[in-house]
Amino acid sequence: MSGSLVKVAEFPLTQEVEQQFIDGAWVKGERGEPIDVLNPSNNETIFQLFPASDAQVDEAVASCWRAFHDPSWKKMPALERGKLITKLAALMREHAETLARLEAINTGIPIRESRLESASSARHFEYFAGWAGKVEGSALPLMNDRLMYSTREPLGVVAIIVPWNTPLKLMSRGLAAALACGNTVVVKPSAVALASVLYFGKLVEEAGFPPGVINIVAGSGRSTGAKIVGHPDIRKIVFTGGTEGGLEVLGLAAQNVTPVLAELGGKGPIIVCEDADLDEAADGVMSQVFARQGEVCFAGTRLFLPPSIHDAFVEKIKERVAGINVGDAMDEDTDMGPLISPDHLADVVGYVESAVGDGASVACGGERATLEEGPDGNFMQPTVLTGVNQDMEAACEEIFGPVLTVHEYDSLDDAVRDANATDFGLASYVWTSDLRQAHRLAAELDCGNVFINTYRYGSEIPFGGTKKSGIGREHGEEALREYTQIKSVCIGLSRWHSWNRD
């Protein structure tokens, strides 16, 4: 059953009794048939997941509420809460290599990148630990004889639904903020990729969080996930995933009027201006589109070029693509690992074939990659399509793979119009040497994040989308608003008179 890359014994979490972390204890999932959790570098089973039953979801939510009201959490001074979060971050640093290896094996993220992801996951906790003692309300001017103030209170029980791409980091950003604000949390990782999240549960236990503050309930989205999302006692759902799943979650949550923070798909444009440093821009485009084999929501995947630099720039990209090493995620030399599943690989190849059928040209790649040596995983060649126009599926839909579509623009106004002409609005990228142009484009691009001559995401930078890319913002001080609610308090300072006076 074990893959050639993983000795299951190295990872005690893969034992069936250690997959659901409920009320501070590890238990076996009680819902029906187990699910095979695969290594996408060779499609072999790493371990079997025994999913959580509806009763176990109910117990996790109840345990969260008990913990929320328990003095050990509720009355814990905010600074102490911050220290506990810092302790968890320190454990994540200590176990960073194991977390990175689990993430690489289960998601296909190359190990060198996975180490960076494991560090940035710990960083989310380090960053939000500092906010724990700084969640403030305000005093509001009303009238002379009344004092009005507001406090920011935790919401209660928050559910965090995590996708399979970079699960540890995408869980960490929301969980760190939710804990800093004093909430208790049910985490539901994807049944496809959860090894790192389960191991993280061990660190929660070691850090000494009171039982029930963090519960991890694993199972597939449409069974265990839907039970969580439809639960009437959840006060907020934090969903990161595809737009299709997001719409289902929004519909279910609406039944209980549960608010949803939705971080959904993207289709990021990259506008390269004539005046850009073209070598720098080409290096930038490479990391914007091919990092983590393109399975990145904020990837820049649509490249807009003026005719004057089009051919030369595409050549620069092709030269760089030729240097990409596609291979096993655990190989230290790998730049691009496998896609998550054979079905997803087939979908990505399908987008390329459909674009070619509609008249696009393959500048490089375009097919499944077969390794000369090594396992038979879901490998895809890094692909560049030229001659792409706006109505091709490959230009409108999120491909979520290593495919760059190249578009020509006549004027920057046209570039902005076409860049904005999708259902998505997560991240946009601009390469230019003209300061005024940079600010103009930043203002005109319809999205949550704009990056000019760089590529950087971090705990401090508010992150989220417009249009079908989502609702709300993670990261930074903005996140505190997502994980708290305002309570207004009004106090009379002089004797109350009859009802019809001010």
The footprint of ligand NDP (CB under 6 A) covers: 161-165, 170, 188, 190-192, 220-222, 225-226, 229, 240-242, 245, 248-249, 263-266, 297, 398, 400, 426, 465, 470
Distance CA 381, CA 432 (A): 29
Distance CA 98, CA 314 (A): 39
Q: Which two tokens stand for residue 41?
A: 């570098």
Q: Cβ(210)–Cβ(68) under 8 Å?
A: no
Q: Which neighbouring-strand residues pair with 471?
A: 262
Q: Which two tokens stand for residue 165?
A: 């791409």
Q: Any idea which residue has 């074990």 for tokens? A: 2
| Residues labelled as active-site residues | 165, 263, 297, 474
Least Cβ distance, residue 235 to ligand NDP (angstroms):
16
CA distance from start to end of the chain: 75
Quick check: helix, strand or coil at residue 400? coil
Q: Cβ(214)–Cβ(68) under 8 Å?
A: no
Q: Which two tokens stand for residue 242?
A: 């595809």
Rg (CA), the chain: 24
Q: Which residues of 480-498 are buried (b: 16+ CB within 10 A; e: fewer)?
A: bebbbeeeeeeeeeeeeee
Least Cβ distance, residue 251 to ligand NDP (angstroms):
9
Distance CA 118, CA 458 (A): 13
Distance CA 408, CA 303 (A): 8
Least Cβ distance, residue 175 to ligand NDP (angstroms):
14
Least Cβ distance, residue 185 to ligand NDP (angstroms):
14
Least Cβ distance, residue 148 to ligand NDP (angstroms):
36
Q: Determine the angle formed by the axes of helices 307-322 and 278-290, rounding to 10 degrees.
A: 60
Cα 76 to chain centroid distance, Å, stands at: 29
DSSP 220: -
Distance CA 449, CA 431 (A): 14
Least Cβ distance, residue 146 to ligand NDP (angstroms):
42
In this complex, which beta carbon is closest to ligand NDP, that of residue 272 or of residue 336? 336
Least Cβ distance, residue 230 to ligand NDP (angstroms):
8
Q: Which two tokens stand for residue 94?
A: 């200590």
Q: Which residues, other chains included, contact 23 with Cβ-Cβ below 8 Å and sequence gap of 6+?
A: 59, 60, 63, 66, 211, 212, 215
H or E segment to which residue 404 belongs: strand 403-408
DSSP 326: B
Distance CA 98, CA 92 (A): 9
Q: Cβ(139)–Cβ(474) under 8 Å?
A: no
Dihedral sign of CA atoms 31, 197, 193, 163 in order: positive
Residue showing the smallest CB distance to ligand NDP in the complex: 221
Least Cβ distance, residue 332 to ligand NDP (angstroms):
25
Q: Which two tokens stand for residue 34?
A: 């187990």
Least Cβ distance, residue 169 to ligand NDP (angstroms):
9
Q: What are the residue ranges of helices labelled H in 31-144?
A: 54-69, 71-74, 78-94, 96-107, 111-129
In this complex, which beta carbon is closest to ligand NDP, that of residue 12 or of residue 251? 251
- The three-point CA angle 311-400-194 to 5° equals 145
